[in-house]
Amino acid sequence: MPQPTVEEAPASARLGPYRRLFARPGTRAFTAGNLIARLPVGMFGVSAVVMIAGSRGSYALAGAVTATGLAATALAGPWVARLVDRYGQARVAVPATVTAVLGGLALLLCVRLGAPDWTLFAAYAATATTPNIGGMSRARWAHLLRDDPAALHTANSFEQAADELCFMLGPVLASFLTGTLFPEAGTLAGAGLLLAGMLLFTAQRATEPPPRARSKAASPLRTRGIPPLLACFVATGAVFGSMEVVTIAYADAQGHRSAAGAVLALQAAGSCAAGLLYGARKPDGPADRRLPWCLLAMAALMSLPLLAACTAGSLWALAAALLAAGMATAPTMVTAMTLVQDRTPEDRLNEGMSLVVTALLTGIAGGSAAGGWAAEHTSPATAFAAPVAAAGTALLINSAANGVRWSWSLRRTACRNSRQTH
């Protein structure tokens, strides 16, 4: 029987990986809602700082309020995700989003009306109920592509690129709105986009994973292989947090503090581009074998900003180094997230991915503190050693976990062989 020619092959087989991904029914609609709802995640922090600092004249108060919101999100996120797993995305995400939007509007009113400082903390803490829209989108892909690992790899890569894009554009949009219109404009726009995007996303019921009965599976925190991955995410978050603070300090020392945002955006741009390229390639081997190489590449590339700052002493050289350093971020995150999906019980998938966000936020907070200390007590240039150390720590954690896993596997094999011999 003659083989089909290229012209006779199915049309889907001739499409690129991303076109094949979005050729599936319903995927474009829920992705559109996902992107609209995800953009405000990068807007709320900047908008709150500008709004509070402009009204109360205190960046310390603004920073404390936003830090409280991050801490509340880290605590509340896994609980909201557990409810999503149990009752379904639409039933939980919509009321949780409405609560978060009301919290943002309450913060706006408290600032506008001159309410006591404690009300700002209470109002902003209510935004912690914002569902992990990226995790819910990944859960949909995992449900739709459970029998197609290559397509799931592409989907996870796209989601990571979307994360980078939204974190890059969100602060820019928030700064533009608060600077050209009025201080509350960023918060208002973010609240509207979040609610509209979530309503569009949850309206796509055909692609929603079915709710699960109360899970009898162990929490992801007690699932074999998950705790070391979360520790890696903490260290990776420390890379992000320290790099941001140190870059701002370096740009300030160079007399170009206003350019710090654009320089940091290049790191996100490098990660976004690398994520899309990584998703277009067929994965080489299982994720647990790819992760050590990704972490090694991240540790190596994170040394480029340190080298540029200590030798060239130029903000432009640092910008190029950050663009290159960012290219290791997305492949690392995609591979680690794939392992989380593989190892997390299916009926606790949203909870597992929400724990990743908690781990990243924890690392970002710790990395910001470490980067600030290094910039103040050493120098803005040598402080770039902080993200290098964090990336190296992630590599060491993974290496130690792999050593324990292989040791356990060898021990089980030896015991099984011994029983067979006797």
Cβ proximity of 118 and 107 under 8 Å:
no
Does 388 lie in the same domain as 289? yes
What are the CA-CA distances from residue 366 to residues 38, 61, 167, 241, 406 (Å)? 24, 19, 19, 7, 30
Does 362 lie in the same domain as 286? yes
Does 341 lie in the same domain as 419? yes
- DSSP letter for 176, please: H
Domain-terminating residue out of 178, 213, 248: 213
Q: Whole domain around residue 301: which residue ranges?
A: 221-422
pLDDT of residue 342 exceeding 90, the answer is no
- Residue 76 inside a domain? The answer is yes
The average confidence (pLDDT) of the chain is: 81
What are the CA-CA distances from residue 144 to residues 15, 35, 175, 210, 417 (Å)? 19, 19, 37, 11, 40
Does 244 lie in the same domain as 195? no
Q: What is the Cβ-side half-sphere exposure of residue 417, based on CA atoms within 13 angstroms?
A: 6
Does 365 lie in the same domain as 343? yes
Q: What is the dihedral sign for C-alpha 95, 100, 105, 109?
A: positive
Does 232 lie in the same domain as 190? no
- Residue 82 inside a domain? The answer is yes
Does 87 lie in the same domain as 170? yes
CA atoms of 110 and 278, how far apart (whole Å) = 45
- Residue 21 inside a domain? The answer is no
Domain-terminating residue out of 213, 231, 265: 213
Does 305 lie in the same domain as 182? no
Does 238 lie in the same domain as 184? no
Domain-terminating residue out of 213, 242, 269: 213
pLDDT of residue 217: 61
């991955």: which residue's tokens? Answer: 229
CA atoms of 36 and 39, how far apart (whole Å) = 6
- Residue 293 inside a domain? The answer is yes
**Into how many domains does the chain fold?**
2
pLDDT of residue 19 exceeding 70, the answer is yes
pLDDT of residue 287 exceeding 90, the answer is no
Q: For residue 32, what pLDDT band results from cuts at 50, 70 and 90?
A: very high
- Residue 11 inside a domain? The answer is no
Which pLDDT tens digit goes with each residue over 222-272?
Answer: 778 788 888 998 999 888 888 887 887 888 787 776 677 778 788 888 888
Q: What is the dihedral sign for C-alpha 329, 331, 336, 338?
A: positive
Q: What is the pTM of this model?
A: 0.75
Cβ-proximal residues to 94 (8 Å cutoff; 6+ apart), any chain: 198, 199, 202
- Residue 3 inside a domain? The answer is no
Does 111 lie in the same domain as 33? yes
CATH code of 403's domain: 1.20.1250.20
- Residue 195 inside a domain? The answer is yes
- Residue 245 inside a domain? The answer is yes
Does 374 lie in the same domain as 261? yes
Provide mean pLDDT across the span 7-20: 58
CA atoms of 68 and 116, how far apart (whole Å) = 16
pLDDT of residue 7: 40
CA atoms of 329 and 297, how far apart (whole Å) = 9
